[in-house]
Structure 1
Amino acid sequence: MKLFTIDEANVLLPELKQELYKLQVLIDDIDDRYLELQTIKAKHKLSPGTRGTMTDPYFEQESQLDFMRMEAELQISNFTRMGVLIKSISPGLLDFPAILEGKEVLLCWKQGEEQISHYHGWNEGFMGRRPYP
């Protein structure tokens, strides 16, 4: 497990903000396309003369969604490879494992904050966050 100092985590933050934004856009697109596909399927199911067709009319859309999901998983794994924990994609919450006063903690950043300035224990979560000394 990678451990960060607050300075190391803050240096990474601009890049992570950009990557998080790209991930959020992708997730929103996946959600929109999924809902659109479900609507199309529901309408198609109710249409007369749609029974007994041998081809899957949704194959292309479902394949695109699968590809987009794989892309999202890859983007998430990029955070993990860097040692950063994504606690929430939207709103963005990122945690950085660290040692503070001899204890394992998580430096935490919430989307909208300029820099990392808080931390919490591993079992406390966002509600237990405190200002970094």
Structure 2
Amino acid sequence: MDWTMNLYDKDDGFKIFTLKEANALLPKIIEITEQTVMELEQIKQRLEVEKIVDEDEAYLHFESESNLILEEWAEHMVELGVYPKGYFTVDFKSPIPDTLFCWTYGEEKISHTHKIYQSFKDRIPINDENILGFEQSLN
């Protein structure tokens, strides 16, 4: 699936999540993300050993292996129906027009949102009862 095309279109194939559904999926997202972080730490440790022998080759190997691991993480996120937005941040299409629920690694629940034309730096805390109560799925 080419997840870089037509992001946020109504017919982009991504699920619309209520806040409750999105938070219910978080344990799986966190598990995959933590596994990915561990894999990256392991190849970083190998880099330290390998660069003693051949620093240039070690960095090339590290770059290609880390890119593959990060691409696999992004593919897992797409398979779960969420938009990978950098590493390790995901957006969930919400039932609220032009609005995404946003989560980043280290957060225990989805507590922020932003408009589809905004980025991570534009996130605002979810404190609107209308958003918190919007639990009817539109799928």
- Both structures adopt the same fold (TM-score exceeding 0.5): yes
Residue aligning to 1:40: 53
Equivalent of 1:97 in 47, 68, 93: 93
Task: Give aligned-pair identity as a percent.
Answer: 27
Which amino acid is 1:16 matched to? Answer: I
- The whole-number CA distance in structure 2 between the counterparts of 1:26 and 1:106 is 29
Alignment CA distance shift 1:33-1:125 (3 Å) = same
TM-score, structure 2 as length reference: 0.64
User: Using the alignment, how far apart are the partners of 2:122 and 2:64 within structure 1?
Assistant: 37
Structure 2, unpaired ranges of 5+: 1-13, 129-139
Structure 1 contact 26–72 (Cα < 8 Å) conserved: no
Residues 90-119 of structure 1, C-alpha deviations (whole Å, 9 max, x = no match): xx322112231xx22220113332211210
The normalised TM-score by structure 1 is 0.66
The answer (yes or no) to whether the contact 1:6–1:107 under 8 Å persists in 2 is yes
State the SS of the aligned residue for 1:113.
coil
In the alignment, residue 26 of structure 1 is paired with which amino acid?
Answer: E
CA contact (8 A) 1:105 1:122 kept: yes
Determine which structure has more spread, i.e. the larger CA radius of gyration.
Answer: 1
Query: Could you tell me which residue of structure 1 aligns to residue 132 of structure 2?
Result: none
Judging changes above 3 Å, is the alpha-carbon distance between structure 1 residues 41 and 18 closer, same or farther for their aligned structure 2 residues? same
Q: CA separation of 1:75/1:129 partners in 2, compared to 1, >3 Å: closer, same or farther? A: closer
Q: Say whether the 8 Å CA contact 2:100–2:114 is kept in structure 1.
A: yes
What SS does structure 2 have at the residue aligned with 1:115?
Answer: coil
Quick one: distance in 1 between partners of 2:69 and 2:121?
31
Correspondence for 2:103: 109
**Structure 2 counterparts to residues 1-133 of structure 1, below 5 A:** 1-42=14-55, 70=68, 72-89=70-87, 92-100=88-96, 103-132=97-126, 133=128
**More strand by proportion, 1 or 2?**
1
CA deviation after TM superposition for structure 1 residue 15, in Å: 1.4
More RCO (CA 8 Å, sep 6+): 2
Structure 1 residue 70: Cα displacement:
4.1
Return the alpha-carbon distance in structure 2 between the equivalents of residues 124 and 85 of structure 1: 14
1:3 Cα offset (Å):
1.7
